[in-house]
Amino acid sequence: MHAGCLIAAQLISSFLAEIAWDELIVPLGIATFSLVVITIFLGLFMRKSYRLMRKLHITAAFAALACGAFHASLVLFLT
């Protein structure tokens, strides 16, 4: 491997080690709930402009799933 790649890997691993993962559980839960509510309302108002609302609805749904999965993994592994 190149020396630059090794330095980048060390910087990333030291950065990730310094993050207080426990403090992210509650904000991620709030963000997940907010994204789920936004997804529901985008689905309800999909009749107005179908194409735009469908794209926003699917994007919000995937974001809610990703945020929820990260939140659940933190809860399961840290508590």
pLDDT of residue 8: 65
Average pLDDT over residues 35-54: 87
In this model, does residue 2 exceed pLDDT 70?
A: no
Whether the CA torsion 50, 42, 70, 6 is positive or negative: it is positive
How far is 1 from 35, CA to CA, in rounded Å?
A: 41
Cβ 4 vs Cβ 46: under 8 Å: no
pTM over 0.95: no
Of the candidates 17, 22, 14, 1, the residue with the CA atom closest to the CA atom of residue 77? 22
pLDDT of residue 79: 77
In this model, does residue 20 exceed pLDDT 70?
A: yes
pLDDT tens for 51-76 read 888 899 999 999 999 999 999 999 99
